[in-house]
Amino acid sequence: MAKEVTITIDGREVRAEEGANLLQTARDAGVDIPGLCYHPKLSPTGACRLCMVKINGRAMPSCMTEIKDGMEVTAFDEELESWRVTGLDIILNEHECACTGCHMAGGCSLQDLACRYGLIGLNRQRFRRFYKEIEGKLSRLPGLDRLLNRIAERKTPTMDEPTPAYSGRHADCVRCGYCIEACPMDLYPIMIVDAYLQNDRALLKKLYPEDCIRCDMCAYCCPGEIKLPWYIQQAVPVKRSVSGSASRQTASK
Amino acid sequence: MERLTSLEKFHELQSTVRAERPEDRPQVIISAGTCGQARGANGVYDAFRDALAERNLSEKVELKRTGCHGYCEVEPNALVLPQGVFYAHLEPKNIAEIVDETIVNGRVVEKYVVANADGSEHFALAQELPFYRRQQRNLLTLNTLIEPTKIEDYLALDGYAAFAKALSSMSRPEVIEEMKRSGLRGRGGGGFPTGMKWEFCYKEQADLKYVVCNADEGDPGAYMDRSLLEGNPHVVIEGMLIGAYAVGAQHGYIYVRDEYPIAVRHLQIAIEQARELGLLGESILGTDFSFELQMSRGAGAFVCGEETALLHSIESKRGMPRQRPPFPAQSGLWGKPTNINNVETWANVPLIVNKGADWFAAQGTEQSKGSKIFALVGKIRNTGLVEVPMGITLRELVYDVGGGIPNDKQIKAVQTGGPSGGCIPAHLLDLPVDFDALREAGSIMGSGGMVVMDEATCMVDVAKYFLEFLEGESCGKCTPCRMGTPLMLEIVERICDGHGTPEDLDTLESLAKTIKNCSLCGLGQTSPNPVLSTLRYFRDEYEAHVYDKVCPACLCQNLIRYEIDQDTCISCDRCRKACPVEAITGELKQHNYYIHNHLCIRCGACEEQCPVSAISRLPGYDPPADGAEAKKQSPSHSTAVGSAGGEQ
Amino acid sequence: MDLKRIDEIINQHTDTHDGAYPPVIPILQDIQSEYRWLPEPALVHTAKRLRVPLVDLYGIATFYQSFRLTPPGEHQINLCMGTACHVEGAPLILGKLERKLGIKAGEVTEDGKFGLDEVRCVGCCALAPVMVVDEDYHSLKGKKDVGKIIDEKRKSDEKVSN
């Protein structure tokens, strides 16, 4: 059992575990430090630099920092926020901001941050350039094909309905086991899909679909080209409605 | 040679080699580092060898090739001892005369000696040369005297004596204390106090520790470390031995840049010789101290000069830096405590142990002790490597040592610290050269690269040059450096092309601040320095490019024009023939030659060909009546970015 | 492709190396010294022998600039683009070379005779601007004619083959 210590974040005292991840601890305590490359299940790398905080005055990435007793953390100040805005702007500059047609819209961390820092709506320059390109060329709208696919898939497949071979639907599964072998999070993608389609909530509870990091490895390996990630994402709210948002990690402690 | 199994045997060998090398023996020493060889030093060496053989002097006069003597401008050069006569700009055909006059008859041949700018003074002896007079050649002196592939030469001049002293009569904390008292700071650019660094590593408890030499020297225009490795590899080995003893390391690596083949070869030979003598390996000199040294070759990545990236490269991975802490002293190579120092830092260690911390601390300034080697290059008369005491002013370096600016041009700036540094303008030439003064002025001392720039250098172009370099060398891990540096480059390119806007200057500054503060490693953190320092001191040049669409230095391709001065032109037709894009019209002897600027690609071929210098570059592009844009030059790396972001 | 030679090179390193991760970089450097570039069959074989994913080898080959994944020209022309050479007009010389050879930096002429590359600093700043043709260093100070140097190289090649 790790030692419990006290740190301050923006003047507020927070109890934390010594050696725990500062970014995760802050977020758990309700201090929403932005970050794009941090994932609670993967080892931190410190690449996006949006989570920079000042520790005892020194700028450090919070995702790579371990908690020490008495740490004084500044998570939000004018300078840090200005760095975050510029950092986000740099990322968005390379990004094809096609939110209106992108299938990630609504579940996209970049979009969330861009909205939070007021960069999406106000970046008229970027959008003007984008819209100019698609004027009269609607068919080249990036993501439109994905949007159309989604509409097509809204019709929930069932075990009874006959499906053509390799339609991307669940019925094409040949039980090869590749998706299970490929999953870096040790999930059982095809089982999640089965449980979801059969509405087996008890089983879903044990399969932790919310741990999916959307790497798409399962879809990549699937010989039937089943859209496993899509099904898993459908399963997440179902699972949440059953048992709250406890993830595997906290459940095992 | 026999393996040295004890300290006594070491001192015996030392006496033997010293006796074989009396200080006043006749020698001819050719400077033959990479730059010397590139200029023909090997041919000069062969000519000496043949001339001496013909006169039956091969046994009496010792002829040797050493590393770089530092006076690169006048290479190939030869030093004749014991008189100390310095001959410069040598060619094989001059050698017979020199052997006859100087070696046989003891007379100086004045025409091969260095003269001052107007030829009124001649300097026959090396110590009289203005280039050498102001230098403090603690390290580079040995470059002039030892043959790098002969360990005996090094031993005869106190080589490995410092190591023997440390091993036999100093405890490990005493060695570290001596380093701390000397005030030696890292010579690779970081300037971190060496003694303190060693102490961190010493304090770590581990079964295995490493010492590493950073010989990556990635700064373009810097070749100090190369000269030390080519000319005196043993001093680095000795420094690492002392350091390994002090911190408790059993293994060492020298990470050498792939682009230094001679340095690699000389290091290999040196390591083998040291191993043969038992100075490397088990139970060195009969003690319980064992140390193995290996070389690790770089493969071409500037970022591998950063210590964590370097360690990853030694581990045969991609050279990507990682977040620090933990620092290499706690967790370095393969997770073990590792002490990394630069070549020049290691080279200073034996001197400090031999002559004492007080001797070292008496040189230099309060916070920057000792001497530093600089590569003085660019628009300077005496290009070369100079070792000067810290605290010397830039003015002394440029004018007293460097001989001033050639071609009657005015100095504009001195660029220090390579791509991580900045430009010091002419009005600050009285600044002392040390770690802190240069940092306050917006640059850094860096590893020692010093590029002198004159009025024909465009400072915006300099910023563009360094940004191009850094964009290519960015490892790609963190967003501010990977994506921000190309953005800064895009803006500066636009400015150089005449499409800059006033907002661009503000955007540059805010981008620069974020990149400086948020990047993961030193490369990213210092990548805005060239832009920030040129903006600080040469804002007028940026503004000329942005507001007036003019390049005051007449360099930026789209903001200059070539014009023929009709009064000087002799109508010889050479320019028209030289033009690769047929932008010049005119008829022979008709005095109607004209350069059509909208067709011109500003390659300069016509200017070169004109025998009467009638063609000159003028600032400002003169668009023709139809307002056609200036044609873009097509060299691969200076393509103009079109109107990206140009919407207003 | 003589895979036996590749095996020899690999064995030289693995026989003396006892760490966990194989010495990929020295092996690739030796393969490149042998063939002047890294041909794909060599990389595939090395990946198999070292039990390292091929993508890792490509990751290293593309990260470090000294590794070539395309064959070089018979004669490699390296133009130094270091800081000292830059202020002495190296970009204009690059333009001249590109026009003379009809290729861009990084490419090889169609007849395979000449390859053109930019390099950062060969450390001969006193000779700036510097062009290295194979192993010969040429100082282009005083606006020396690069075209002539290349023509002479071509001529001397023809003399040898005649």
User: Which 8-state DSSP code applies to residue C71?
Assistant: P
- Residue contact A61–B323, C-beta within 8 A: yes
Residues B174-219 pLDDT 10s: 999 999 999 999 999 989 999 999 999 999 999 999 999 999 999 9
Domain B558-647 has CATH 3.40.50.261: no
- Residue contact A59–B517, C-beta within 8 A: yes
Which segment of B183-187, B344-348, B482-486 scores lowest on mean pLDDT? Answer: B482-486
Residues B571-608 pLDDT 10s: 888 999 989 999 999 888 888 899 988 888 888 889 88
Residues of chain B with Cβ-Cβ distance to C104 below 8 Å are 636
B215 within 8 A of B369, measured Cβ to Cβ:
no
Specify the pLDDT at position B643.
Answer: 25
Local confidence band at B438 (pLDDT 50, 70, 90 cut-offs) = very high
Residue among A45, A49, A94 minimizing CB distance to B518: A49
Q: Which residue(s) pair with B251 in the sheet?
A: B210, B292
Specify the pLDDT at position A140.
Answer: 46
**Paired tokens of A235:** 């399963």
Residue among A79, A82, A90 minimizing CB distance to B483: A90
- Residue contact B518–A82, C-beta within 8 A: no
Name all chains with 3 or more CB-CB pairs below 8 Å to chain C: B
Residue among C60, C124, C143 minimizing CB distance to B318: C60
pLDDT above 80: residue B516? yes
Local confidence band at A131 (pLDDT 50, 70, 90 cut-offs) = very low
Q: How many alpha carbons fall within 13 Å on the CB side of residue B558?
A: 25
User: Which 8-state DSSP code applies to residue B529?
Assistant: H
Pairwise pLDDT comparison (A222 vs B341), residue with the higher score: B341
> Any residues with CB less than 8 A from the CB of C148 and at least 6 apart, and which?
none
**CATH classification code of B460-548:** 1.20.1440.230
Residues of chain B with Cβ-Cβ distance to C59 below 8 Å are 318
Residue among C98, C105, C120 minimizing CB distance to B469: C120
Question: A68 at the B interface (CB within 8 A)?
Answer: no
Q: Phi and psi for A201 in degrees, rounded to 5?
A: -70, -35
Task: Assess whether chains A and C touch, using the rule of 3 or more C-beta pairs within 8 angstroms.
Answer: no
Q: Environment class of residue C36 by beta-carbon count within 10 Å: exposed (0-12), middle (13-18) or buried (19+)?
A: middle
Cis peptide before B326 (omega within 30 of 0): yes
Average pLDDT, chain A: 77
| Residues 363-402, chain B, touching C (beta carbon < 8 A) | 375, 377-379, 383-384
Residues C55-81 pLDDT 10s: 889 999 999 999 999 999 999 999 999
CA distance linking residue C150 with residue B164, whole number of Å: 54
Closest C-alpha to B346, from B212, B247, B201? B212
ipTM of this model?
A: 0.93
- Residue contact B315–C21, C-beta within 8 A: yes
Determine the average pLDDT of the residues in A10-34: 94
Residues of chain A with Cβ-Cβ distance to B484 below 8 Å are 90
CATH superfamily of B21-129: Glutaredoxin (3.40.30.10)
- Residue contact B519–A49, C-beta within 8 A: yes
**Paired tokens of B96:** 């017979």
Nearest CA in chain C to B35: C124
Average pLDDT, chain B: 91
pLDDT above 50: residue A249? no
Which positions in chain B have a beta carbon within 8 angstroms of at least one beta carbon in chain A?
322-323, 477-480, 483-484, 487, 510-511, 513-514, 517-520, 645, 647
| Residues 298-337, chain B, touching C (beta carbon < 8 A) | 298-302, 313, 315-319, 334
User: Is there a common fold for B371-457 and B460-548?
Assistant: no
CATH architecture, range B371-457: Roll (3.10)
Determine the average pLDDT of the residues in B411-427: 95
**Paired tokens of A4:** 């419990």
Class in CATH terms, B159-360: alpha beta
Which three-class secondary structure string do you get for chain C? Answer: CCHHHHHHHHHHHHCCCCCCCCCHHHHHHHHHHHHCCCCHHHHHHHHHHHCCCHHHHHHHHHHCCCCCCCCCCCEEEEEECCHHHHHCCHHHHHHHHHHHHCCCCCCECCCCCEEEEEECCCCCHHHCCEEEECCEEEECCCCCCHHHHHHHHHHHHHHHHC
Local confidence band at A124 (pLDDT 50, 70, 90 cut-offs) = very low
Q: How many CB atoms lie within 10 A of CB A215?
A: 14
Specify the pLDDT at position B517.
Answer: 94
A239 within 8 A of A205, measured Cβ to Cβ:
yes
In total, the C-beta contacts within 8 angstroms joining chain B to chain C are 147
Residues of chain B with Cβ-Cβ distance to C126 below 8 Å are 35, 39, 72-73, 75, 377, 383-384
User: What residue ranges do the domains of chain B occupy?
Assistant: 21-129, 159-360, 371-457, 460-548, 558-647
**Paired tokens of A219:** 């879809």
Name all chains with 3 or more CB-CB pairs below 8 Å to chain B: A, C
Which segment of A52-66, A237-251, B448-462, C49-63 scores lowest on mean pLDDT? Answer: A237-251
- Residue contact A49–B510, C-beta within 8 A: no
